[in-house]
Structure 1
């Protein structure tokens, strides 16, 4: 389930930095969620500078790029984990891409286990024990 997508302006960042962003974001995600790294997916979605606006001005006309990211978690993940990922992904963008912290935006998207498929099966079935364990930990 762990999926993160970084939405960035194309051509603004060295490929090796993007590689490192994907690798370190994957490791961070796995560590924070205590999830096997094999489950993590990380993406960079690139947009032409003329198709990105910040404060009403296109980046192609001088606006500073403002990275945005979003990540998916199954409903029931503790708020502390979601906050750690919001902070951690922001820190990676600042460190690796020299993005101004004040311009970065991020979003945690919680999905119901019945609305997420793993190998064509609802996560509510394939991850039943994990979901129940998290629900039990949240009520304790």
Structure 2
């Protein structure tokens, strides 16, 4: 279920850097949420630098805005740790000044999140039942 979108403007990274970044972001996300990495979806969304104002300038400096989604019920500690780790990766791997990095956590109720045609609220019930009756 975990989904993150990294909106990048002000420059393009080589494919190898983007691959490294998305792989590490996915692994961090899964580790913090204690879920299989195959559930994570991470997107690197490149924006034309002439269509984004950063610090009031067009084009602005290399910058990133990220949005990540978690199901309601995840702790504040988990949510803050995810945001912190994403900021560290953006600075360390993408070489972006932390002053121009912004992020946002979106909490979604399980009955409002669909996975392959099934709602997370129903999938949670099924997983809990399986754990009770192995």
TM-score, with structure 1 as normaliser: 0.86
Instruction: State the alpha-carbon separation in 1 of the partners of residues 105 and 81 from structure 2.
Output: 11
Instruction: State the alpha-carbon separation in 2 of the partners of residues 130 and 58 from structure 1.
Output: 49
Instruction: Give 2:82's match in structure 1, choosing from 82, 85, 94.
Output: 85
Instruction: Give 2:73's match in structure 1, choosing from 73, 76, 80.
Output: 76
Task: Give the corresponding residue for 1:29.
Answer: 29
CA 70–120 in structure 1, closer or farther in 2 if over 3 Å, else same = same
Task: Give the corresponding residue for 1:120.
Answer: 117
Q: Secondary structure at the match of 2:74?
A: coil
Gaps of 5+ in 2: 129-134
RMSD: 1.6
Instruction: State the alpha-carbon separation in 2 of the partners of residues 72 and 130 from structure 1.
Output: 20
Q: Are positions 1:39 and 2:36 aligned together?
A: no
How many corresponding residue pairs?
A: 128
CA 130–93 in structure 1, closer or farther in 2 if over 3 Å, else same = farther
Dislocated runs of 4+, deviation >3 Å: none
TM-score, with structure 2 as normaliser: 0.89
1:6-48 per-position Cα deviation (integer Å, ceiling 9, x unaligned): 0002743222111111100000011000001110111111111
Instruction: State the alpha-carbon separation in 2 of the partners of residues 31 and 129 from structure 1.
Output: 23
Instruction: State the alpha-carbon separation in 2 of the partners of residues 107 and 9 from structure 1.
Output: 17
